[in-house]
Structure formats: structure tokens, C-alpha cells
């Protein structure tokens, strides 16, 4: 027998309590990891290597204000611009408002996949998309969700814009760790339906290199200063964070729930450890009588509590990872959550929480046990 073997034997002496405690820690860590993943996704939207090269130009006042189409020519002429595409959120209704929670954007068909190379579409399909003005390209998950296939007709009813694009699906894009639930269609077609008013929501620009971005941002905004529609240009990440800030206190709310979960776990584990140690007060005294000193006993309690919390933590954290890797979260959330990747950082945070939990919850019972004299311990249950 070894000391670690002795700790394991002690942990397993009440199997039902062990199972329930590990399960409670695991479920709590599952919730914690899930909430942290949600929080992480909100505050750190998925990015790719390419996203560092992209910048977005919008109206300086708000996203609800539009820019003139003619800005595109001036932007494209600026040094450091590789590609520039119009990018207008359509926000139409497909069949029913409850089905319509997917992004629909009017874009420049010949540039959009150059600006977003991580969205991969078959060359022939891209060529077909570029060629046909009323065509669209759709993300793989969206195709799957609605059971669409190439050649299907899709009509969007404008809820913001007064037009109803009738689109033919000509391509499917796939991407790893990037939203696969977007529909792209021709901005020219949208403009035509809007009676050539030349309105654009945003311009998405791919810079030639990351180094030119700060200068490019300044140049674009300077180019349109003192016009009727001044611009605000920012990096893709900064643009995404603008949306996040609109969520207001959701971050605080999720953070508060996470804290409550951790605190509840702490109470459950501390209570279990206290019960386990109180039941064994006499045995602790025996160990001391046999020559184990206070630190040895503290170590035994600490190791048991730590092991218990970490077992629950590992089950909870990796259970979350496994579950969200194997469950179609997009289908399960009816299209509201396209991706739910549990990151390594979130797993590490969950395990750190479990470790701290194991250590902290053992402190009070360990202290009591250390302070109790051998004689007092031997008198327990006598």
C-alpha cells in the first residue's frame, strides 16, 4: 500500500456519497464551462488568420445609417487596399419570421470569397454565382437546416428594405470554425430591386498587409470627412465587439451565474469533506497516534478533497467538450447558435476552478482535524 492508495481507499469508503459529490461537481462544472463558453463566444467572436487583414467601413453615426455606393471607388484607389466589397445586411423573412434567424447579405459576388478566403466554395459554383445576378451562395449548415440543394429557389421578403429578392442557390460554402449559416447574394441585384438608389450598409475591405491597416483606417475616414455621410472604419474584431457591447449586461449576468455556481460547488464540496472528516475524527486521531503529524493529516485530507473535485472537474469539463463536439448545437438551438466550440482556455479555467475548489473546501475540515488533539479524537464516539 502507498499513501496515495490509502487516500483512494478513504475516498471510496462511502461510494454513494462519493458518486453524488463527484456528480454535483461535474454538473456544476458542466454549467460553468458552458456559461464560460457562451461568455467567451460573446466577448471573443471566432476569428481566423484572415480576419486580421479585414477592416470594415460604416456610417459614422450608426450602423442603421447607409453609405453611398460611390464610396467604393475612392476606397479601392487607396494604397494598401487589396479588395473591397459592398456588404449590406438584408434581414429578410424566409417563409416565417421564426425561420429567418440567419444572416442574409448583399455583397459583390466577385470579391466576397477573396475577402473571406476561409469560406471555401467550389470554383465552378463560385463562377456560377458570379455569372448569375439573382443567384446566391449559402453556408453548409444553412443548406442542411432547410434541406436546400443547388438550384433551389429561395424568396426573401424584405422587412427592412422594400424589396423581395428571388434567389437561386448556385453554391455552398464550407468553413472550419466560422459561421456556416450565412446567405450571400448580389449587391447589384439588391440595388436593382431598390431602383438603383446606390445604398450600402458597410464596406468590407481586405488590406494588403496587417502593417498598413492603421494608416488605411485613417485614410479612409479622412477621405470622407466633412461629407454628408462621414465614415467610421475599424478592424473586423473591433466591429464585432461593437455588437457585443449592444448585449449590455448579459456579460455581467453570465458572470454572476458562474460565480454563484462556483460558490454553490464550494459549499457542497466543503460540506461533503466536513462530513467525511467528522466521521473519521477518530481515525485521524489514530493516524496521529501512529506517528502522522498535523501536516501529514492535512495532506491526506487535501489530497482527497482535491482528487474528488478534480475528478468531478474532469468529467464536467471534458463532458462539456465532448457533448458540444458531438451534438449539432445549430440544429438544437433552431439556428440561433451556429457554433459552440469549448476552447482550451475555457477547459483550463474550469479545471483551475475545480482545483481551487478542492483545495479551499478542504481547508476548514483539515484545520479542525489538525487542531484536534489525539486524546480528543480518540474520545469521539466513545
Partner 1 sequence: MVQIRDLTKVYGHGEIEVVALDHVGLDIAAGEFLALMGPSGSGKSTLLHILAGIDRPTSGQCLVQGTNVAELSETDLADWRNTHVGFVFQTFNLIPVLTAFENVELPLLLTALSAGERREHVTAALELVGLADRMKHLPRQLSGGQEQRVAIARALVTDPTLLVADEPTGNLDAHAAADVLGLLQRLNQEAAKTVIMVTHDPKAAAYARRIVHLEKGELLNEEGQTQRNLSMGFAK
C-alpha cell at 321: 467538450
Residue closer to partner 1, measured from CB, 89 or 292? 292
Stretch that binds partner 1, among 103-111, 238-246, 279-287, 343-351 (CB under 8 A): 279-287
- DSSP summary character for residue 132: -
Residue closer to partner 1, measured from CB, 152 or 296? 296
Q: Please, which residues have CB within 8 angstroms of residue 322's CB and are 6 or more apart in sequence?
A: none
- Give the Cα separation of 85 and 56 in Å (integer): 10
Query: Counting contacts by CB under 8 A, is residue 279 touching partner 1?
Result: no
Rounded (10°) angle between helices 3-11 and 294-326: 60
- DSSP summary character for residue 92: -
Stretch that binds partner 1, among 3-11, 50-58, 224-232, 355-363 (CB under 8 A): 3-11
| Shortest CB 317 distance to partner 1, Å | 29
Query: Counting contacts by CB under 8 A, is residue 286 touching partner 1?
Result: yes
What residues numbered 191-250 form the site for partner 1, per CB under 8 A?
A: none
- Give the Cα separation of 317 and 334 in Å (integer): 25
Q: Please, which residues have CB within 8 angstroms of residue 233's CB and are 6 or more apart in sequence?
A: 55, 56, 57, 58, 216, 217, 220, 221
Number of Cβ within 10 Å of residue 325's Cβ equals 11
- Give the Cα separation of 263 and 255 in Å (integer): 12
- Among 109, 155, 151, 99, smallest CA distance to 133 is for 109
Residue closer to partner 1, measured from CB, 352 or 375? 375
- Give the Cα separation of 143 and 184 in Å (integer): 13
Per-residue b/e over 236-274, b at no fewer than 16 CB within 10 Å? beebbbeeeeeeeeeeeebeeebeebbeebbebbbebbe
C-alpha cell at 295: 501536516
Residue closer to partner 1, measured from CB, 76 or 279? 279
Residue closer to partner 1, measured from CB, 39 or 302? 302
Q: Kind and range of the H or E element at 182?
A: strand 182-186
- Which of 159, 271, 293, 336 touches partner 1 (CB under 8 A)? 293
| Shortest CB 381 distance to partner 1, Å | 9
| Shortest CB 289 distance to partner 1, Å | 5
Count of residues of this chain found to bind partner 1 when the rule CB under 8 A is applied? 26
| Shortest CB 5 distance to partner 1, Å | 8
Query: Counting contacts by CB under 8 A, is residue 12 touching partner 1?
Result: yes
Residue closer to partner 1, measured from CB, 2 or 226? 2
Stretch that binds partner 1, among 5-13, 15-23, 177-185, 259-267 (CB under 8 A): 5-13
Query: Counting contacts by CB under 8 A, is residue 278 touching partner 1?
Result: no
Query: Counting contacts by CB under 8 A, is residue 305 touching partner 1?
Result: no
- Among 204, 208, 175, 206, smallest CA distance to 187 is for 204
Query: Counting contacts by CB under 8 A, is residue 378 touching partner 1?
Result: yes
* Inter-residue contact 202 to 124 (CB < 8 Å): no
- The CA–CA distances, whole Å, from 321 to 36, 148, 342 equal 12, 30, 6
Query: Counting contacts by CB under 8 A, is residue 374 touching partner 1?
Result: yes
Stretch that binds partner 1, among 8-16, 91-99, 137-145, 319-327 (CB under 8 A): 8-16
Query: Counting contacts by CB under 8 A, is residue 289 touching partner 1?
Result: yes
Query: Counting contacts by CB under 8 A, is residue 3 touching partner 1?
Result: yes
Stretch that binds partner 1, among 68-76, 107-115, 358-366, 367-375 (CB under 8 A): 367-375
Query: Counting contacts by CB under 8 A, is residue 290 touching partner 1?
Result: yes
- Which of 59, 111, 288, 321 touches partner 1 (CB under 8 A)? 288
Query: Counting contacts by CB under 8 A, is residue 93 touching partner 1?
Result: no
Q: Which residues bind partner 1 (CB under 8 A)?
A: 1-3, 6, 9-10, 12-13, 282-283, 286-296, 373-375, 378, 382
Amino acid at each position: 500500500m502507498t499513501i496515495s492508495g490509502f487516500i483512494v481507499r478513504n475516498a471510496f469508503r462511502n461510494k454513494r456519497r462519493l458518486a453524488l459529490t463527484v456528480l454535483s461537481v461535474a454538473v456544476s462544472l458542466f454549467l460553468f464551462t458552458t456559461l464560460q463558453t457562451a461568455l467567451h463566444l460573446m466577448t471573443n467572436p471566432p476569428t481566423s488568420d484572415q480576419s486580421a487583414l479585414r477592416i470594415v467601413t460604416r456610417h459614422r453615426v450608426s450602423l442603421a445609417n447607409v453609405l453611398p455606393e460611390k464610396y467604393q471607388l475612392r476606397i479601392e484607389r487607396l494604397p494598401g487596399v487589396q479588395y473591397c466589397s459592398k456588404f449590406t445586411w438584408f434581414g429578410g423573412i424566409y417563409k416565417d419570421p421564426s425561420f429567418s434567424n440567419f444572416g442574409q447579405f448583399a455583397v459583390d459576388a466577385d470579391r466576397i470569397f477573396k475577402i473571406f478566403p476561409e469560406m471555401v466554395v467550389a470554383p465552378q459554383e463560385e463562377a456560377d454565382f458570379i455569372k448569375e445576378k439573382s443567384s446566391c451562395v449559402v453556408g453548409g449548415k444553412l443548406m442542411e437546416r432547410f434541406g436546400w440543394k443547388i438550384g433551389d429557389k429561395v424568396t426573401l421578403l424584405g422587412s427592412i428594405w422594400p424589396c423581395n429578392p428571388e434567389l437561386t442557390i448556385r453554391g455552398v460554402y464550407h468553413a472550419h470554425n466560422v459561421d456556416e449559416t450565412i446567405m450571400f447574394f448580389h449587391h447589384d441585384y439588391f440595388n436593382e430591386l431598390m431602383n438603383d438608389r446606390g445604398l450600402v450598409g458597410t464596406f468590407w475591405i481586405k488590406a494588403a498587409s496587417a502593417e498598413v491597416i492603421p494608416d488605411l483606417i485613417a485614410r479612409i475616414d479622412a477621405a470622407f470627412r466633412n461629407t454628408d455621410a462621414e465614415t467610421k472604419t475599424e478592424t473586423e474584431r473591433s466591429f464585432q465587439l461593437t455588437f457585443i457591447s449592444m448585449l449590455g449586461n448579459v456579460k455581467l449576468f453570465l458572470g454572476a451565474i458562474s460565480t454563484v455556481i462556483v460558490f454553490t460547488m464550494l459549499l457542497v464540496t466543503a460540506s461533503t469533506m466536513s462530513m467525511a472528516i467528522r466521521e473519521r475524527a477518530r481515525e485521524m486521531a489514530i493516524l496521529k497516534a501512529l506517528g502522522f503529524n498535523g501536516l501529514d493529516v492535512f495532506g491526506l485530507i487535501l489530497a482527497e478533497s482535491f482528487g474528488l473535485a478534480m475528478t468531478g472537474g474532469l468529467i464536467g469539463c471534458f463532458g462539456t467538450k465532448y457533448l458540444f463536439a458531438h451534438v449539432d448545437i445549430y440544429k438544437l438551438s433552431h439556428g440561433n447558435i451556429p457554433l459552440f466550440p469549448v476552447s482550451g482556455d475555457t477547459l483550463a479555467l474550469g479545471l483551475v476552478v475545480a482545483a481551487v475548489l478542492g483545495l479551499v473546501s478542504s481547508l476548514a475540515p483539515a484545520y479542525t482535524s489538525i487542531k484536534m488533539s489525539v486524546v480528543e479524537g480518540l474520545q469521539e464516539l466513545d
